[in-house]
A and B are shown apart, each in its own frame.
Chain A
Amino acid sequence: MKPLLEIKDLHASIGGKEILKGVNLVINEGEVHAIMGPNGAGKSTLSAVLTGNPAYEVTSGEVYLKGENLLTMEPEIRARAGVFLSFQYPVEIPGVSMTNFMRTAINEKRAYEGKEPLSAKEFLSLMREKKKLLELPDKLNNRSVNEGFSGGEKKKNEIFQMAMLEPCLSILDETDSGLDIDALRIVAEGVNRLKTPHNASIVITHYQRLLDYIVPDFVHVLADGKIVKTGDKNLALELEEKGYEGL
């Protein structure tokens, strides 16, 4: 069976500065991979490159999603093919309602899969069902995307969108940052409930804390643009205790 995601010797830079210096990673269906590492190691760059953020340039290397070349796909095609990023800093979009935004996104994905668009009724009942999962308020529908949301609401809203879009590969970029313990629990439970044998997650985090809730199968340490160590969940505990210097 082909891996879900295969990253081979990936190099990437921003503004001419090389950030990723040869990343190799294989992710299979059903797996949760944590990526930890000090600030500036390239964790967010990796998520930006995988999702096709135009600010970053891939200078060499290959990435395959289910055997297809991911790097030649436009960002929206990657998303429709099932790559989802929970943004570290979700963007506020004044004037675009959550309903309009989400309905456009869902129907674009359905069209890509050769499915009929959802009717207004089907769509709204799906919104209702998924909002419950994240304990989000009903009034969400008419609000502009992320506008005036608290830090916790923004992160919940990311996982809510993940629940709506059912991606095969979710990248959670510092989803725990800025969350109090209750919001962290809701977000983590949401992520856990969305787990199936056919999808996988990359959990990018600084801290062990999130990994108490979302238990990884693998923990990778990214330092200076490369994965320098891989282990199981115990590696995260070890890092918590000894720090990155102790490696």
Chain B
Amino acid sequence: MRVSKGETYERVFVNEEVKLCIEQEAGSHVKIHVINASFCITVNQIGEGCSTEIYGLEHLHGEDNVTAETHVTHAVGGGRSNQLIKFVLDDNSRGRFIGDLKIAPDAQQTEAHQTNRNLLLSETAEMRTQPQLEIYADDVQATHGASTGQLDESALFYMQQRGIDKNKARQLLVNAFMKEVIDTISDEKIREELLDAVDGVVE
């Protein structure tokens, strides 16, 4: 699909597998959230001054096996892109993030960020992260970060010391981790629904 000059394409996909191939014309905006489903999103900024935002939030249980894949290309300059992909992996779940970010030689003054953060809640869950950055222009701002860790034991103990049950403390930390992605959803109704679903676990 193609997002025309100056247009905005914004979608939140929940529990729905997503396969998208998008070309962005000058000054267009793309903002996509995928919650709890595999996705493959390819975006090519072919016009100047575009913005692309891709958010993924995957809370996996049991034998879930989810792949989040992004291919973002800045073909021309003055564009921005931001990606935030988070996985929470419990039980025997498997997660995979593949993220290609390409900044072409002509794409000067591009600002591109890619972040992948993962939380392992069980010893048998597994996360694989394959970020790939190809930057051919010199006047750009590009950052990427990937980390996979466990819940902060000192935060857990701090909460327990205030009388909060350990499982509830774990849930509060997991919710806080997921909230960062949900907070970026523009549609208030969807955002509130997802936040309620997340907070509801604690009540």
Give the interface of B toward A (CB within 8 A).
Answer: 152-155, 157-166, 168-169, 172-173, 175-177, 179-180, 202
Contacts and interface: CB of A to CB of B under 8 A. Distances in A.
Q: Which of A52, A79, A91, A144 gathers the greatest number of chain B CB atoms within 10 Å?
A: A91
A112 B166 CA distance: 15
22 contacts: A74-B166, A75-B166, A79-B162, A84-B161, A85-B161, A91-B157, A92-B155, A93-B152, A94-B176, A95-B176, A95-B177, A95-B180, A96-B173, A101-B172, A104-B168, A104-B172, A105-B159, A105-B163, A105-B164, A108-B165, A165-B162, A165-B163
A92 B176 CA distance: 12
Interface string A90-112: 11111110001110110011001
B172 A90 contact: no
A75 B172 contact: no
A93 B158 contact: yes
Contacts of B154: 91
Q: Which of B152, B162, B163, B165 gathers the greatest number of chain A CB atoms within 10 Å?
A: B163
Contact of B172 (A52, A100, A109): A100
B61 to A, nearest CB: 21
A80 interface: yes
Contacts of B173: 93, 95-96
Contacts of A91: 152, 154-155, 157-158
Nearest to B154: A91
B71 to A, nearest CB: 29
A205 interface: no
- Interchain residue pairs A-B with the least CB separation, the first 3: A95-B176, A79-B163, A105-B162
Nearest to A87: B158
A109 B177 CA distance: 25
Nearest to A76: B160
A165 B159 CA distance: 13
A51 interface: yes
Contacts of B166: 74-76
B150 to A, nearest CB: 14
A161 interface: yes
Given A95-B173, A96-B176, 5 more contacts: A54-B157, A76-B165, A101-B164, A108-B164, A161-B162
A53 interface: yes
Contact of B175 (A52, A80, A95, A145): A95
Contact of A79 (B152, B153, B160, B175): B160
A87 B155 CA distance: 12
B160 to A, nearest CB: 4
A51 B155 contact: no
Given A93-B173, A95-B177, A79 B158 contact: no
Contacts of A52: 160
Contacts of A76: 160-161, 163-166, 169
Contact of B163 (A53, A80, A96): A80
Contacts of B161: 51, 75-76, 79, 84-85, 87
Given A105-B163, A109-B163, A165-B163, A90 B202 contact: no
Q: Which of A80, A90, A104, A145 gathers the greatest number of chain B CB atoms within 10 Å?
A: A104
A178 B179 CA distance: 32
Interface string A62-92: 0000000000001110011000110100111
Given A104-B168, A104-B202, A108-B165, A74 B160 contact: yes
Nearest to A53: B157
A90 B161 CA distance: 11
B2 to A, nearest CB: 37
